[in-house]
A and B are shown apart, each in its own frame.
Chain A
């Protein structure tokens, strides 16, 4: 089973430098949090979706569609509880709070999509190297990449373990919630133990390959900003500055909205 999100294809977005892609992700976040009004978020949304289309990364979004659906439904409802407005609609929902809920939901969904755009188009090593080049210490970068790498390993052991316990008669699908939680113990303990055993060898192998032997280190992966990176950054930078400017002029807020 494979839940690595990187898509090994060649697209315009794939060819961008890792640093550019990280900055695009940060820019998206910055632009999105500025506005309370979904209408103002819409153009940014289109840009993020354009990036997704160019990267041909829709498959990864589709893979997590159920998660996204749950998030959407719960988020649209929940945010109404944390805001109120002047035009009452029904129950605890006001027009203003509904707009606000939609905006927050879009923020969450778009951040996930933007993050997915990054992970779908950037190899683990590129991502880490880019972070290091942006000023992160090597060891921290390596730790991040290791935890990303652990995901497929752990998920494949969960798969095997659940088969093993099912063939012994464990039925995870029936019973009350409490009973079901209890049923997960036979899955979690073996997952935990086999992961710990694996990590021990991992640590040994790491030191045996000279990890941290010297202060300096070569990076075999080459990373160079090209013209397309500067163009992309200039464009997206301009968008962010424009958004900041609009926000500074007090556009994009919802009149009559009270947040708790």
Chain B
């Protein structure tokens, strides 16, 4: 066995004021130069574990701790966080909160400055690390003017400048679009090849864990399994049970009863050819015909954008020449890179923003004339972060807020709150404090509070960000149910598999314009154009594209397979 970087022995931790153990007897050895990914459901203890590596637990976040965390021979209990910082760097998910400076260079300098590194040496490290993450050109910019992906790269550079031997990353890419994610993973991959640094990452996206050496699966603060990625990622059922998204390709072959499971698209194609299975042309055509039926409309569109343009007061042109129609009863996804204008577009649909040129019509009425109060009655908008709207002490009052503002009588309010809670699966939570719920619970409260106004259309901005796989599924299943009951749904997202499995139509936005639109299948078939807007379909869709047909989920493909 090679030299150990970290050794955790029977670690238990309970947050102050909580009854449940957040970590419950974890023992784990990590060798030098290794890349370990920690996965598991929300609240499983992943971030808690990540905070143990550099002593944030128990020194910063207090609670009852038992067991040992030995980092490079030092017990974290015996030294402070700043002392450990020289050895262990950590990058957080929230890229705003971890940057302190008004200038990129000074941000990188901050860590070494604290360790009294000589000035010339700091200059050298700034040079080296900005180059490493590809931010040399931005050295004099203010960090808050950078994009999300660039901020996260800067956070990594600023940690690397302290020359840590262990780098911990707590969901570094959760809030990033696919291409920015890729940028971070490229850096991770470069780092992985260096044997002087041990990488530990908490990660949600299974496709990205493929680069790691080992995966540790965590549930309820316990280590369920740890092993090489090839072994763990084949355990499709175990992953699903733990709230971790299994890869589409092994899932497909597993459901088909094939014994030797491939992981990547390339492996998948090789294996597929070996099986001798066939995709039925007839069934595939049936699939397409069914879709055509859904896509036909003879009614008037509920949303019409005509030559929509939006220029922000600071002169930045966010949208140009947008023409789009959205019909009643559709589920539409709006996708694009961070800063492409997709949220700006969505905000035009409920009059939160008004066009600076062109028109937006809702049900044939101009948003400019109606305003957000009136349009808001028809079009509900669920913001990305539920904490940006929740303020009541009781779930009931939070959901009743919208209807009450609109002068709905109390009896009717009561009825609507009950219905909304039922729709989001929170019946019985009326008297709970919304702030005590998990992120996914708070997200549901936010959706319910919009539903209670009984809008015809629901717009959701990043409804699945920050949720684990199980929660993402149940959130989107709920959205689909609402659609079945007649609501028109529009959602903005970075999660391509969510688009693949839930959207009927997709608008791809790039630089404030619609680059591509059509049914989800049509859009995902055009991988080259998607690439140009920095998006890529999930592995599984890519795999089926290589086989000449576009399938959006393993189940769809299974229904079209003919065995010889």
User: Is the CB–CB distance between B453 and A201 below 8 Å?
Assistant: no
Measured between beta carbons, the chain A residues less than 8 angstroms from B376 are 166-169
| B492–chain A nearest beta-carbon distance, Å | 14
Cα distance, A157 to B385, chains bound together (Å): 11
| B327–chain A nearest beta-carbon distance, Å | 22
User: Is the CB–CB distance between B56 and A160 below 8 Å?
Assistant: no
User: Is the CB–CB distance between A194 and B54 below 8 Å?
Assistant: no
User: Is the CB–CB distance between A214 and B114 below 8 Å?
Assistant: yes
Cα distance, A222 to B105, chains bound together (Å): 13
Measured between beta carbons, the chain A residues less than 8 angstroms from B203 are none
* CB-based nearest B residue for A170: B405
Cα distance, A8 to B141, chains bound together (Å): 9
Cα distance, A149 to B390, chains bound together (Å): 25
* CB-based nearest A residue for B59: A207
Using a CB-CB cutoff of 8 Å, which residues 180-217 of chain A contact chain B?
A: 185-186, 188-190, 193-194, 197-199, 201-214, 216-217
User: Is the CB–CB distance between B453 and A4 below 8 Å?
Assistant: no
Binary interface profile of B, 527-543, with partner A (CB < 8 Å = 1, else 0)?
00000000000000000
Counting chain A residues whose Cβ lies within 8 A of the other chain, the interface size class is 35 or more
User: Is the CB–CB distance between A194 and B109 below 8 Å?
Assistant: no
Binary interface profile of B, 135-148, with partner A (CB < 8 Å = 1, else 0)?
00000001010000
Query: Which residue of the partner chain, among B82, B97, B159, contacts A211 with CB atoms under 8 Å?
Result: B82
| A230–chain B nearest beta-carbon distance, Å | 24
Using a CB-CB cutoff of 8 Å, which residues 13-35 of chain A contact chain B?
A: none
A258 at the interface (CB under 8 A from B): no
| B9–chain A nearest beta-carbon distance, Å | 23
Measured between beta carbons, the chain B residues less than 8 angstroms from A204 are 51, 56, 60-61, 90, 92
User: Is the CB–CB distance between A213 and B387 below 8 Å?
Assistant: no
A220 at the interface (CB under 8 A from B): yes
User: Is the CB–CB distance between B144 and A212 below 8 Å?
Assistant: no
Query: Which residue of the partner chain, among B83, B97, B102, B390, contacts A213 with CB atoms under 8 Å?
Result: B83
Query: Which residue of the partner chain, among A189, A207, A210, contacts B56 with CB atoms under 8 Å?
Result: A207
B331 at the interface (CB under 8 A from A): no
A66 at the interface (CB under 8 A from B): no
Measured between beta carbons, the chain A residues less than 8 angstroms from B144 are 2, 4, 152
User: Is the CB–CB distance between A217 and B116 below 8 Å?
Assistant: yes
A163-B347, A186-B401 given as contacts; is B388 within 8 A of A219 (CB)? no
* CB-based nearest B residue for A125: B106
Measured between beta carbons, the chain A residues less than 8 angstroms from B253 are none
User: Is the CB–CB distance between A193 and B387 below 8 Å?
Assistant: yes
User: Is the CB–CB distance between B402 and A168 below 8 Å?
Assistant: yes
User: Is the CB–CB distance between A123 and B102 below 8 Å?
Assistant: yes
A146 at the interface (CB under 8 A from B): yes
A221 at the interface (CB under 8 A from B): yes
Cα distance, A222 to B106, chains bound together (Å): 11
Query: Which residue of the partner chain, among A123, A149, A168, contacts B100 with CB atoms under 8 Å?
Result: A149
A204-B51, A220-B122 given as contacts; is B162 within 8 A of A210 (CB)? yes
A217-B114, A220-B106 given as contacts; is B402 within 8 A of A205 (CB)? no
Query: Which residue of the partner chain, among B85, B103, B391, B401, contacts A209 with CB atoms under 8 Å?
Result: B85
Cα distance, A189 to B119, chains bound together (Å): 44
User: Is the CB–CB distance between A167 and B381 below 8 Å?
Assistant: yes
* CB-based nearest B residue for A171: B373
Of the listed residues A4, A152, A165, A205, the one surrounded by the most CB atoms of chain B closer than 10 A to its CB is A205
Measured between beta carbons, the chain B residues less than 8 angstroms from A60 are none
| A204–chain B nearest beta-carbon distance, Å | 5
A123-B103, A168-B376, A219-B113 given as contacts; is B122 within 8 A of A213 (CB)? no
B449 at the interface (CB under 8 A from A): yes
Using a CB-CB cutoff of 8 Å, which residues 84-126 of chain B contact chain A?
A: 85-86, 88-90, 92, 94, 96-98, 100-103, 105-106, 109-119, 122-123, 126
B520 at the interface (CB under 8 A from A): no
Measured between beta carbons, the chain B residues less than 8 angstroms from A164 are 381, 383, 388-389
The contact sample of 15 A-B pairs, CB cut-off 8 A, is: A4-B144, A125-B102, A164-B383, A167-B350, A168-B450, A169-B406, A170-B405, A186-B391, A190-B388, A194-B385, A194-B387, A198-B97, A205-B97, A207-B80, A207-B81
The 9 closest A-B pairs by CB, nearest first: A213-B82, A189-B391, A205-B98, A220-B109, A201-B97, A210-B85, A210-B114, A169-B405, A207-B81
